[in-house]
Amino acid sequence: MILETDRLLLRPWKESDAEECYRYARDPAVGPVTGWPAHQSLEESRRIIRNVLSVPENYAMVWKETGLPVGSIGLRFAPATDLTDRADECELGFWLGVPYWGRGIMTEAAREILRHAFMDLGTGTVWCGYYEGNERSRRVQEKCGFRHQYTITGKDVPLLGERRTEQVSCLTREEWQAGQDRENLVERLLEMPYWIVDILPAQVPAGAGGQYFSVEQYFLKPPRITAIRRKHAEILMRLGYDMAVSFDGGESWEQNPDSERLARKAEELTGSGFLRALFEPVEMMADLEPEETWMTVYNPCPVMLERLRKLAAEKGLFVWQPQP
């Protein structure tokens, strides 16, 4: 079977992949953190492809631009995993070549393999573990919706002859489906009418500069911008509905985060990230972006729009709808 994402093909390993496998698996930053030693030769990589990687539901992650493998991902079912002995459960495992780190590739592959596990294979629960200190694996699991279940201390790592602490998480089919529903809702809301909660009472005319630009630049400087973002965060907290919040632009979500944490994260917005708050019961969403003085609110119903206006006015802010 071949699975596909925007940037990857996931296909069975072949012995002819040995050179690319060795290229990445010989790096000591790749294998030891996941529990296996760096490959020592091309022949060793060929042997591991033949005896370890060429098993059902294990895939080479092929970079579409080159047609060459850059990592491995797979599902292990009992008795090949010690995280579950149930026939309708499995364990997710993966590794990726260092040159491809930090580009969201592992998360992209993991999301597709999870879709395959739940939709094609009928899996009920997928388990995944990482050894203490493997923060990249932990982050991938968080982005995919895994929940921490328990910690194993003194876990035997036979290929390295040592013991480690392992953190174990899982994701059920119901949780995965809820995540898919959330993503679909976000996509719908992005196409809905939206309002702006701003320091200005109306949309600045196209081509306007001078005073408007100066005002914006003035408020974008600390501590003024942090005070504005705290106001936006406080408005979100007082809207009166449960909310799921993402501090990384929708990669991972927290349900009803602590109020002070929400305010602090809003104040600290920088770079390309943004804060997104999703009010699923009323199908409304709000975005805060780092280089803007306003908050965008998608699809507020009349009741929520009135509440938004009232809360904004209390903070000295204005609510208006952009002109088409």
Give span(s): CATH 3.40.630.30, the chain.
3-178
CA 230 from centre of chain? 24
**Which pLDDT belongs to residue 207?**
65
Percent of the chain with pLDDT over 90: 86
pLDDT digits (tens, 9 = 90+) for 147-184: 999 999 999 999 999 999 999 999 999 999 999 999 99
Question: Can you give the pLDDT at residue 215?
Answer: 78
Is CATH 3.40.630.30 what the domain over 3-178 is classified as, yes or no? yes
What is this structure's pTM? 0.86
Q: Which pLDDT tens digit goes with each residue over 77-129?
A: 999 999 999 999 999 999 999 999 999 999 999 999 999 999 999 999 999 99
- pLDDT value at position 216? 76
Query: Which tens digit of pLDDT belongs to each residue from 252-311?
Result: 899 999 999 999 999 998 766 799 999 999 999 999 998 889 999 999 999 999 999 999
Strand partners, 157: 162
Q: How far is CA 290 from CA 139, 229, 247, 272, in A?
A: 22, 9, 12, 7
Strands (E), the chain: 3-4, 8-11, 58-63, 68-76, 89-96, 125-131, 147-157, 162-172, 194-198, 244-246, 254-255, 275-279, 284-288, 295-298, 318-320
pLDDT at 212 over 80: no
> How sure is the predictor about 208, in pLDDT bands with cuts at 50, 70 and 90?
low
Q: What is the pLDDT of residues 13-28, one digit of tens each?
A: 999 999 999 999 999 9
